[in-house]
Chain A
Amino acid sequence: TQLLEQSPQFLSIQEGENLTVYCNSSSVFSSLQWYRQEPGEGPVLLVTVVTGGEVKKLKRLTFQFGDARKDSSLHITAAQPGDTGLYLCAGDNAGNMLTFGGGTRLMVKP
C-alpha cells in the first residue's frame, strides 16, 4: 500500500502570513494532484504536477513536485481568509487508483 503523509495536519495562521504544506511518500508517483475542500463540499482540483522538479503557480499558491517524484509541497503567500479549507494531495501510481494523503486543515484568521 502506498502512503502519502501530509504535514502539518492542522494550521491556524493570521491573514497575510506565508505557509507551506508538505506531502511525502516513500513511493514514486507518476504525477501528483492537489485539491482543496470546503466544508460540506467535495474536493476541487487545484493543480496536477507531472515532472520531477516541476513548479507550478496559481496566483498566490506555488506547487512543487520533488525531483524524485516522491514528495510535493504547497506554498501560500500572504494567506487570506478565503484560503481556509482542507488541502489534500493525491498520488497517481500509473495504475487505476489515486492515493490520497490525510489532508491539512488550514484556517486563516482575519
Chain B
Amino acid sequence: NAGVTQTPKFQVLKTGQSMTLQCAQDMNHEYMSWYRQDPGMGLRLIHYSVGAGITDQGEVPNGYNVSRSTTEDFPLRLLSAAPSQTSVYFCASSQGRRRGTQYFGPGTRLLVL
C-alpha cells in the first residue's frame, strides 16, 4: 500500500491563479481531510469528507473547494490564489474518524507570490 499520496510536492503560484492539489489513498478509508500548517499554528482543518459524495467545511474553508467523487480521491482546489494561502497543505485519511488513526500524506508546499 502506498498510503496517502499528495501531488505536487512543491508549487509556486502567482496571485489570482488557480490550481488543484491532489490527494489519494489506497486504504479504502471513509474519512479524508485537508489541513494547512502555518508556523506556530499547528494544523487547521480546511475541509473534510466522511465518504464519497459528502463534504463539509472545517475551520478555515474560505478560498478552497473540495469534492469527493470516489473513496480514493479528495482534491483541494484553490480558485484564485492569494498570498495568505502560502502554506504547507496536508491530506489525511482514517477508517473511522473517532479514535481512529489519521494517516497523513507527505504534504504540498505552496508559495503564492
Contact residues of A with B, CB < 8 Å? 1, 4, 6, 9, 30-31, 33, 40-45, 48, 50, 88, 90, 92, 94, 96-98, 100-103
Contact = CB atoms under 8 A, between A and B. Distances in A.
Interface string B77-113: 0000000000000101000011101101111000000
18 contacts: A6-B42, A30-B98, A33-B102, A40-B107, A42-B90, A42-B92, A42-B105, A42-B106, A43-B43, A43-B102, A43-B104, A45-B101, A88-B43, A94-B98, A96-B48, A97-B58, A102-B41, A102-B42
Contacts, number: 55
Name the prevailing secondary structure of the A interface residues. loop
A100 B45 CA distance: 9
A91 to B, nearest CB: 11
